[in-house]
Structure 1
Amino acid sequence: MHLNIVFLASLAVAQAPARPAFCDSVKNAEAVVRCTASSGRIESCEVLSETPPGCGFGAAAVSILRERDLRPRQSFDRRRQTVTFTVRVPFTFDPPALT
């Protein structure tokens, strides 16, 4: 079964991790996470990769995903089905210009 799951980009921006000093130059990052869900709720997630490594984007992506209910475009019986899916969560930092 293939599910299309959409997450709003603004969620990632609102919950981006505090960046350590070595991550100060990062403008774009991403995490790839595999999750299992049943009854419309995410139960467990595993970080498959994060770029750049060590900046906390994998943990931030898991946090974002675990707070959301699944709302697949394809209808199925959410009460009885367990699904596993992989999602790429992008992070973009565009700081406001100093005036």
Structure 2
Amino acid sequence: MPRRIRILPEADSDLDDHFAYLLGESPSAAFRFLESADKTFRLLSQQPSIGYLRRNAKPSLKDIRSFPVTGFPNWLVFYRPTTNEIEIVRILHGATNIPRILGEDL
């Protein structure tokens, strides 16, 4: 049974930012990105262990996993599976300084 999907405020803001950026480049790509992100969230809710387990220095980000947005491999969904839900923590472009943003161990 799929887990409930909960998008945290920072991840929601990330979605808005990426959509706005893509909208300036290609409106159709921007809408495809949102659809693909939703599809990825649903996949993660059905297969929560599919993503790569990240090493993180911040206790608040323990058990964070990452998985690329379907069709947009340069964008990664950072999420935490729990017993009943999938918490979408961030959606970041691979060119950003992810260790700095998430406080990851290198």
Q: TM over 0.5: same fold?
A: no
Flag the structure with more relative contact order, 1 or 2, with Cα contacts below 8 A and sequence separation at least 6: 1
Bigger Rg over Cα: 1
More strand by share: 1
TM-score bin, normalised by smaller chain: 0.3 to 0.5
Relative to the length of structure 2, the TM-score reads 0.33
